Amino acid sequence: MKNILTTKDLVLYYRTSRGPVRAVDYVNLWVESGSSLAVVGESGCGKSSLAYAILRVLPRNVHTYKGEVLFNGINLMSLKEEEMRSKIRWREISMVFQGAMNTLNPVIKIGDQMVEPLIIHAGYRKEEALKEAGEAIRNVGLAEYILDRYPHELSGGMKQRVVIAMALLMKPKLVILDEPTSALDVLTQANIMNLLKDLKEREKLSYIFITHDLALASELADAVAVMYAGKVAEIGSAEQIYGDPKHPYTKKLIGSVPTLRSDKTLEFIPGAPPDLVNPPKGCRFHPRCPYAKDVCRREEPPLIKVGDNDYVACWLYGGE
Amino acid sequence: MRWVSAPPTGIKQVLKEALKTKTGMAAVIILGMMIAMSLSIPMYSPADFVKKWNDLKAWYENPSLAAPVWVKWFTGADLPETIDLKASHFRVDEEEISGHHITTYTAYFRYSYDDYPSELKAFIKADIGGKPVRLNIVFVRADGEEITLFNGLLSSNELTLDLSLDPKLQKSLARFLYEKTGAIPEVIRPEIVLFSKSLSQRIENAASDVLKGRYMVKFQLISDRKISAEPRFIIYGKVFGLAGTDLYRRDLWLGIIWGAPVALAFGTVAAVTTALLQVVIGAAGAWFGPKWDELVQRLADFLLIIPVLPILILISVIYRVTIWSLLGWVILFSVVGVSSKIARSITFQIREEQYIEAARTYGASKTRMLFYYVIPRIMPFTFALVALSVPTYIFLEASLSFLGLGDPELPTWGRILGDAYSAGALYQGYWWWVILPAFMIMLVSLGFTLLSYAFDKIVNPRLREE
Amino acid sequence: MGAVTVIRAENLRTWFPVKTGLFKPVSYVKAVDGVSFSIHKGEALAVVGESGCGKTTLGRTTLRVLEPVSGKLYFYDKDVTHSREEELREFRRKTAMIFQDPYSSLNPVFNVYRILEEPLIVNGIRDKRERAERIYKALEEVKLSPVELFMRKYPHMLSGGQRQRVAIARALILKPEYVVADEPVSMLDASVRAEILYLLNDLKNKHKIAFMYITHDLATAKYFCERTAIMYAGKIVELGPTKEIIRNPRHPYTRALIEALPDPDPNNRFRRIRVVPGEPPNLVNPPSGCRFHPRCPYAKDICSREEPKLAEVKPGHLVACHLYA
């Protein structure tokens, strides 16, 4: 199967008063067409920054931004900003930002907010745009009268559906979702996950699903990339990652998720994730790793193949 | 992991960070100079300076309305400084001639300035023992011409001769000039006549060249016995000190230095005290509930309407005001203001925070929470405003002093300006009397304004850029 | 785990007035609407529900941070339902709370030493040395060592997990007998959560503290709480031993909740979750009868008319549902 998106040595560093923050530090990953990749990691591992790096939605204090982002063969890094804006963003790749439902404009009706980008950027006429919006709204399981409502009249779950509808307006091929259910109740969350599963099937979408919740990720992930301190620690199929994790960090991370349906001792990792301004030398995880060897302290491990489509960045698996 | 950089919580932290910025550095330099000035007072000025400032007779040694010494560098001419021939400068000669005891005091001095002196005065202190003594004062010019300045009786133990205004000297100079040039000018100014190069041009009293050279002054006492005396001859210059002198001969530099701590102290005490009071009142209102909040708001409205300056003027006209009572009134009228609004809104936010709720669960009282948890959080936000308001209070005090309504004894910058205004200083060209004190006020204001900018950048979260 | 009851609630109601009209409030948000339970010494009771179900309000009511509108609250034998603040001094000394947000539950102006000192000062521990001793011990118990190093730090210098430990130390420094922990780990990273949960469990067993553990994540409750109460729309709908509730959930809401909470299982992506439709109800005007009936797949006629009472279906396992009446 072809990969709809591949990143090669993607780098995004931010400039801060304390020095450059190495949020995305030579990240290599891929998303197969029609499948979803879950990018999991704890707070501060750089997973949100990864999304911005892919879509080139950059803040002002960028220190370094380089690498390759191949989307259906085209290197997005070689496109000009104008081309990114008119051809890629929202058309081919769209994004549901974290907490997006709170950024809906409170004084504009839902319908008007949805048609705005269509009219302004795509040159639609108002009637056409409203028709598209209506279809998108129905697609996410809401009735058309929602278009006439204001955001505060909707519940959290409904607002999130609206945001997803907006992301799908121009029928993109790849949708990046950054913690799409973080502020929602458990039952509402389940509803949204069901919706995302339906949409994936119906519209043949590919997803990049960013979350810190490993259990939630399993609801949608065909493949999982585990991030730690701005780098990919392990990437592979969902079966591999959940069933037979290789990286010590992944093992502990999976072990730290409480399970309802099975009894196990919860694992935890002593210490805290490192500072992205001054990460540890060598393997980023070595200060907290129970298996750290000498080489781990000196050199950063590359991604080593351990299965058909599974790779680990760990010296335990060779590559020396 | 969230790496939250905390806002600085104490004045020391804020100052440290302020020093890292350019504005902060500039502010600290300016204010540091002011403080250095204030601290240098013991070195410069006498112990009971305040009394001396108000004693107009104590400054007789200085020229009146003299410009600062450094004016010389701008005009190019070597303007005269005061030459003070004290008793120790005089050589004593004693003679006995036919029963008369003649004591002669002689002093020499070099005059090489490009301009005439402003005034001449002769002093003598002698123990005459009740009997009048004959006194002669002779002036010998550098070209050898001798002029008798005084010939008469010394009837008391002290005599001061204001030679520049002495009518008898005028008459004798008139005679002298008539003998030498055959004409008598309308106005005779002794300090010009005695020091001018060519006598013929003296008639016009124009600014002809000054006669440079060695001059001599002689005091002669004739009595029947030995008299010990202390003569003194002062040739007043036209420039003096770092800031010149005023009409009353006071050294303005001393006045300006003295003004620094007064201004700084008044300004900072007023600013800090009012800020503290405002914060406490604003926070307390928001903290204790809607009724108290209402009360504070109404008080704020009330104080907003009151015209502070006119009332202060009224008070100081009716009552005798000292710098401290003035401070008290100013603080009283500023007890609710901008800082209390800031305190109020921050308090509303803090009220909802979880550590406040936690404090309730371990039984902390509301009052304790207000003073220990809430107000320390608010203080850093007021630093910028406090710094900015110091100049306002300095101006206020200066305005009142200028109108003559401030503390009647302390030499403050406003008072110096007030004296200058009353004497018409600017019209008459005594610019140093006005510009230098005004410059100091502006410099202090600049210092605090820059400090406030630096603080604002540090404390205001929106201006803090990562 | 003795049978001494530390906290007992009988038909507790906490209502918040909704300000409409000039004079009396016209309506109330019935956040806690008739809740009864008890917690014993050394036992942790989980109160599980979604946001808006009233669990946070319940926790605060049991600490008398809020005053109930009706019902009774007992601390040991003492009726503290409507006690005034002065009478609650001893109660305050023996109870404590741990909050969800480690970033706002610690005073940012104080260092750790000061933060831990406050409860001691407020409760009259005058001797400086005694205070220092207790602070040292507290920090050691939550494993923040070296103690001298952490004492001087300010909250913004600590990680989320470290802050939560300080919050726990602060809660425990007065040797409380009842602690309410409101989502203490939900804002922490996954790899840190277990450590905190184990710490709480150790402290609970060591000091025989009664805990109320409020959470929306039933899975964490399993690691810390002997019993669980499921809350919906201001009422307890199911109450019983945690393991039993997870294995044999009786109430339809509990079932929906468990169904909707995923375990990390890659097969999840091939299944749809069975969800109940709708949203949690408005607490100002909750539905008549059983509050869950508009969403319940098993709703009968009686469900819309009569409120079901909490009744035992097995020893120690209670459900409020007409299916089991």
Quote the CA–CA distance of C105 and C183 in Å, as a whole number: 12
Min distance A10 CA to chain C CA atoms (Å): 25
Quote the CA–CA distance of A51 and A85 in Å, as a whole number: 16
Flag the least confident range among A289-293, B205-209, C37-41, C225-229: B205-209
Answer whether residue B321 shows pLDDT above 80.
no
Residues A10 and A79 in one domain: yes
Q: Report the neighbours of A using a cutoff of 3 or more CB pairs below 8 angstroms.
A: B, C
Residues A163 and A53 in one domain: no
Answer whether residue B250 shows pLDDT above 60.
yes
Average pLDDT over residues B391-409: 85
Answer whether residue B409 shows pLDDT above 90.
no
Which residues constitute the domain of residue A160? 105-171
Q: Are C167 and C105 in contact (CB under 8 A)?
A: yes
Residues A182 and A50 in one domain: yes
B412 exposure class (CB count in 10 Å sphere: 0-12, 13-18, 19+): buried
Whether A17 is covered by a domain: the verdict is yes
Looking up tokens 């907290």, which residue turns up?
A: A288
Residues A202 and A254 in one domain: yes
Quote the CA–CA distance of A243 and B296 in Å, as a whole number: 65
| Angle subtended by helix axes B11-20 and B431-459, to nearest 10 | 110
Quote the CA–CA distance of C141 and C137 in Å, as a whole number: 6
Answer whether residue B206 shows pLDDT above 60.
no
Whether A281 is covered by a domain: the verdict is yes
What lies within 8 Å, CB to CB, of B9 at 6+ separation is B376, B377, B380, C108, C109, C154
In 10 A of CB C93, how many CB atoms?
A: 18
Whether A290 is covered by a domain: the verdict is yes
Query: Hey, is the C-beta of B4 within 8 angstroms of any chain C C-beta?
Result: yes
Whether A246 is covered by a domain: the verdict is yes
Quote the CA–CA distance of B282 and B294 in Å, as a whole number: 11
The per-residue pLDDT for C211 is: 95
Query: Hey, is the C-beta of C224 within 8 angstroms of any chain B C-beta?
Result: no
Average pLDDT over residues B92-120: 89
Residues A59 and A130 in one domain: no
Answer whether residue B267 shows pLDDT above 50.
yes
Whether A71 is covered by a domain: the verdict is yes
Residues of chain A with pLDDT under 50: none
Task: Return the closest-CA partner of residue C201 out of C184, C217, C187.
Answer: C184
B350 to chain C: which residues are within 8 Å by CB?
A: none
Average pLDDT over residues B59-69: 90
Task: Return the closest-CA partner of residue B357 out of C124, A315, C206, C105.
Answer: C105
Last residue of a domain, one of A141, A171, A201: A171
Quote the CA–CA distance of B91 and B153 in Å, as a whole number: 22
Cα C7 to the chain's mean position, in Å?
Answer: 13
Whether A191 is covered by a domain: the verdict is yes
The one-letter amino acid at C255: R
Interface subset of A 150-189, CB within 8 angstroms of C = 155, 157, 185-189
Residues A84 and A184 in one domain: yes
Answer whether residue C21 shows pLDDT above 80.
no
Residues A26 and A67 in one domain: yes
Quote the CA–CA distance of C308 and C324 in Å, as a whole number: 9
Task: List the beta bridge partners of residue B147.
Answer: B139
Cβ distance of B357 and C99 shorter than 8 Å: yes
Cα B28 to the chain's mean position, in Å?
Answer: 22
**What digits encode the pLDDT tens for the residues C63-76?**
999 999 999 999 99
Answer whether residue B46 shows pLDDT above 50.
yes
As given in the structure block, the two tokens for residue B307 are 């015209």
Cβ distance of C190 and A42 shorter than 8 Å: yes
Average pLDDT over residues C92-99: 93
Residues A294 and A207 in one domain: yes
Go through chain C and tell me how many residues it has. 325
Task: Identify the structural domains of chain B with CATH numbers, from first to last.
Answer: 11-53+250-459 (1.10.3720), 79-236 (2.60.120)
User: Which CATH fold would you assign to the domain C5-324?
Assistant: Rossmann fold (3.40.50)
Whether A97 is covered by a domain: the verdict is no
The per-residue pLDDT for C1 is: 45
A251 to chain C: which residues are within 8 Å by CB?
A: none
Last residue of a domain, one of A122, A154, A171: A171
In 10 A of CB A216, how many CB atoms?
A: 25
C230 to chain A: which residues are within 8 Å by CB?
A: none
DSSP state of A81: H
**What digits encode the pLDDT tens for the residues B276-286?**
999 999 999 99
DSSP state of A89: B
Give the pLDDT band (50/70/90) at residue C203.
Answer: very high
Residues A296 and A252 in one domain: yes
As given in the structure block, the two tokens for residue B102 are 């003649």
- For residue A94, which phi and psi values (nearest 5 degrees)? -130, 170
Q: Are A243 and A309 in contact (CB under 8 A)?
A: no
Cβ distance of B363 and C156 shorter than 8 Å: no
B48 exposure class (CB count in 10 Å sphere: 0-12, 13-18, 19+): exposed
In 10 A of CB C12, how many CB atoms?
A: 23
The per-residue pLDDT for B463 is: 52
Last residue of a domain, one of A117, A151, A171: A171
Quote the CA–CA distance of A25 and A128 in Å, as a whole number: 43
- Nearest chain A alpha carbon to C53: A185
What lies within 8 Å, CB to CB, of B276 at 6+ separation is none
Looking up tokens 């914060």, which residue turns up?
A: B279
What lies within 8 Å, CB to CB, of C305 at 6+ separation is C288, C289
CATH code, A60: 3.40.50.300
Residues A249 and A197 in one domain: yes
The full 3-state SS of chain B, as one line of letters, equals CCCCCCCCCCHHHHHHHHHHCHHHHHHHHHHHHHHHHHHCHHHHCCCCHHHHHHCHHHHCCCCCCCECCCHHHHHCCCCCECEEECHHHCEEEEEEECCEEEEEEEEEEEECCCCCCCEEEEEEEECCCCCCEEEEEEEECCCCCEEEEEEEEECCCEEEEEHHHCHHHHHHHHHHHHHHHCCCCCCCCHHHHCCECCCHHHHHCCCCCECCEEEEEEEEEEECCCCCEEEEEEEECCECCCCCECCCCCEHHHHHHHHHHHHHHHHHHHHHHHHHHHHHHHHHHHHHCHHHHHHHHHHHHHHHHCCHHHHHHHHHHHCCCCHHHHHHHHHHHCCCCHHHHHHHHHHHHHHCCHHHHHHHHCCCCHHHHHHHHHHHHHHHHHHHHHHHHHHHHHHHHHHHHHCCCCCCCCCCHHHHHHHHHHCCHHHHCCHHHHHHHHHHHHHHHHHHHHHHHHHHHHHCCCCCCC
Answer whether residue B10 shows pLDDT above 80.
no
Inter-chain contacts counted by CB atoms under 8 A, chains A and C: 125
Query: Hey, is the C-beta of A267 within 8 angstroms of any chain C C-beta?
Result: yes
**What digits encode the pLDDT tens for the residues C103-121?**
889 998 889 999 999 999 9
Q: How many domains does chain A have?
A: 2
**What digits encode the pLDDT tens for the residues B168-180?**
888 888 888 888 7
Quote the CA–CA distance of B79 and B73 in Å, as a whole number: 9
What are the structural domain ranges in chain C? Answer: 5-324
3-state secondary structure of C21: coil
Q: Are A187 and A175 in contact (CB under 8 A)?
A: no
Residues A197 and A166 in one domain: no
Min distance B466 CA to chain A CA atoms (Å): 5
Cβ distance of B465 and A43 shorter than 8 Å: no
Whether A128 is covered by a domain: the verdict is yes
